[in-house]
Structure 1
Amino acid sequence: MNSQPIGIFDSGVGGTSIWKEIHHLLPGESTIYLADSKYAPYGERPQKEILQLSIKNTEFLLSQNCKAIVVACNTATTNAIDYLRKNYKVPFIGIEPAIKPAALNSKTGVVGILATRGTLTSGLFAKTSALYAKDRKVIEQFGDGLVPLIENGMANSEEMHQLLQKYLRPMMEEKADYLVLGCTHYPYLIPQLKKILPTSVTIIDSGEAVAKQTKTVLENFQLLNTRAVGASYIFHSNADEKVLASLLKDYKQKIVVSHLDF
C-alpha cells in the first residue's frame, strides 16, 4: 500500500500550490490531482453542495486506490472534512488559513486575511480565529472574483490588479503587517500582491505546513513510500486542462495532465 498514490483535490487549479510543496518535500510519493474547475469556486456555493462535490472527488480518488487524501481547498476543508473523516477509512489532510502564525507574530496587532466567502463564514474559521487572534484586529476580505480570473489564466491581468487594490486598501489603511492567503489559488497572486503591498507586510499561506502535515500523517499510518524511484504524477481537470498545465510547466517532464469528466 505504501507505493499507492496520494490523492489531492481542489475546487480548481489552485491546489497545485499545495501539490508543489508536497512534491518538494516528498518527491518519491506518487500523486493524483483532481481540479474540479467546472464547479469553481466552491466558496460561493451552499454547504450541502460543497459536501456533495467533496464526496464525489473523494470517491473518484479512492477508486484510483489513493492511500490518503489531501483536501487542498480551504472551503472544502472547513465545510466537508469532518464528514469525510467519519465516513471513509483513509486519512485526510485538510487546510485552513494560517491565521495562527500571523496573529502570533504581528507587531502592529492588525492582520489581514483574503479568503472565499465559504471559508470566512465557516464555523471552523471562526473557531480558529477566536482561539489565536482574539487580541488582534483581523480584517477579513472576501476575494470575490479572484478564483475565476485565475481559473481563466488571468492572474496577472489588469482586472486582477484592480480587484486586489480594492480588497487590500482597507488592510493597508489599518497598518496590517501580515496578509494571510486563505485560498489555495491565491499564492499565484503573490507577484501582484507584492506590487501593491508595502514591503513591511508579510504574506503567508498554508502550503508548507500542509506538506509537513502530510508527511507526518503518512508516517503515523506507516504509509510513507520508501522507494526512491517510480513515482508518477497525474493531473485531471474537468474544464480546460491548458490552464492547469500552464501552472505546472516547470514540471512538464514528469507529469501527465488530462481532461476527465467527473
Structure 2
Amino acid sequence: MTNNHPIGIFDSGIGGTSIWKAIHALLPNEKTIYLADSKNAPYGQKSKQEIIDLSKKNVDFLLNQNCKLVVVACNTATTNAISELRATYPIPFIGIEPAIKPAALNSKTQTIGILATQGTLNSDLFHKTAEMFQHTKIMEQVGHGLVQLIEAGDLNSPEMTQLLHSYLEPMIAANIDYLVLGCSHYPYLIPQIKKILPEHIQIIDSGEAVARQTRNILQEKVGLATLEAPKPIFYTNTNPHVLQSIIGQEYTVEEKEF
C-alpha cells in the first residue's frame, strides 16, 4: 500500500521536534510537516477544553496540507485531547504519553520519577496508566517554568540549572532508578539532567516508541511513501529563531499565523 501524502506533527512549541527527529530517522522517505504552536505554549497550564480547541485548530491546518496521519507530539495534548480528535477526524492519530510502563516494569527500587506538565499529570489518561502499577512508587513532579525557558532558547541558563536541581534532588533522595520525561520538550534537557542524576538512574523518553508506532500504523492502515521525500516543512506562529536553532540551518522554518 502506497501513500505519498505527508505526515503531520504538532506540538505546543518546539519540543515535539524531539519526536520529529525520531520519526525522520526511522522513516526518511516520508514527507513531514511540523507545526509549532509556540504562541500558545505551554499547553500544560490550560484547561482541557482550551487544549482540545487548540489541538483541533492545529489538526485543521495539517489536514489542509493533505496529511495522511497526525502525530500529536505533545503529552498534554495527547492526554487531554486525542480521544476527541479521533472521534472528530477520519485519519489516524498517534499520541505520546509518559513511558511509565517500561520504567515501572524494569525498576529495581520500585520507585520511579516522572517530570511532566500539570496538564499531563492531571489527566485521566495519566491516572489510568499510573493505577496499573500500584506496587511502584511514582514520584510526580510538575516541571514549572521548563517549557518557557526551552521556548526562549535558555536551555543552559542558571535559572534552568536551579529549577532542575530543585525538581530532581528529591527524586534522587527517594531512590528512583528511572526518570520518565513526560513532555516532548524535556529531551532537550537530557545533557543538563545527566549532570545532576547519578549514573545508575536511567532516563526514558517516548521518541523511538512513537516513531515505531507511526511506522506500524502506516504499514497496516495508511500506506508508506515510495517517492524520495522532499525536505521537511516547519511552521511556527512566533519568532522562528529558536526552532531554527534546534533543527539546524539545513531546514527552512516559515513563520505563519494559524
Q: Number of paired residues? A: 257
Show the counterpart of 1:122. 123
Letter in structure 2 aligned against 1:142: V
**How far did residue 216 of structure 1 move?**
0.4
**How far did residue 223 of structure 1 move?**
1.6
Show the counterpart of 2:56. 55
Does residue 1:204 correspond to 2:204, yes or no?
A: yes
**How far did residue 125 of structure 1 move?**
0.3
SS in 2 for 1:134: coil
Task: Verify the 8 A CA contact 2:114 2:138 in the aligned structure 1.
Answer: yes
Show the counterpart of 1:235. 234
Show the counterpart of 1:226. 226
SS in 2 for 1:246: helix
Task: Give the whole-Å Cα distance in 1 for the aligned partners of 2:213 and 2:146.
Answer: 27
SS in 2 for 1:179: strand
Show the counterpart of 1:139. 139
**How far did residue 86 of structure 1 move?**
0.7
Task: Give the whole-Å Cα distance in 1 for the aligned partners of 2:49 and 2:31.
Answer: 31
**How far did residue 230 of structure 1 move?**
3.5
Does residue 1:45 correspond to 2:41, yes or no?
A: no
User: How does the TM-score come out when normalised to structure 1?
Assistant: 0.96
Structure 1 residue ranges without an equivalent (≥5) = none
Task: Give the whole-Å Cα distance in 2 for the aligned partners of 1:261 and 1:102.
Answer: 39
Show the counterpart of 1:27. 28
User: How does the TM-score come out when normalised to structure 2?
Assistant: 0.98
Task: Give the whole-Å Cα distance in 2 for the aligned partners of 1:224 and 1:195.
Answer: 40
Between 1:145-154 and 1:213-222, the stretch displaced more is: 213-222
**How far did residue 156 of structure 1 move?**
1.1
Letter in structure 2 aligned against 1:16: T
RMSD: 0.9
Task: Give the whole-Å Cα distance in 2 for the aligned partners of 1:6 and 1:121.
Answer: 29
SS in 1 for 2:71: strand
Question: C-alpha deviations, 1:88-125, integer Å up to 9, x for none?
Answer: 00110000000000000011111000000000010000
**How far did residue 231 of structure 1 move?**
2.7
Show the counterpart of 1:112. 113
Letter in structure 2 aligned against 1:235: F
Show the counterpart of 1:100. 101
SS in 1 for 2:252: strand
**How far did residue 169 of structure 1 move?**
1.3
Letter in structure 1 aligned against 2:141: Q
Show the counterpart of 2:90. 89
Task: Give the whole-Å Cα distance in 2 for the aligned partners of 1:256 and 1:58.
Answer: 21
SS in 2 for 1:32: strand
Show the counterpart of 1:216. 216
Show the counterpart of 1:256. 252
Task: Give the whole-Å Cα distance in 2 for the aligned partners of 1:222 and 1:261.
Answer: 29
Task: Give the whole-Å Cα distance in 2 for the aligned partners of 1:213 and 1:230.
Answer: 20
**How far did residue 226 of structure 1 move?**
2.3
| 1:65-76 to 2 correspondences below 5 Å | 65-76=66-77
Task: Give the whole-Å Cα distance in 2 for the aligned partners of 1:160 and 1:196.
Answer: 12
SS in 2 for 1:221: helix
Moved beyond 2 Å, runs of 4+: none
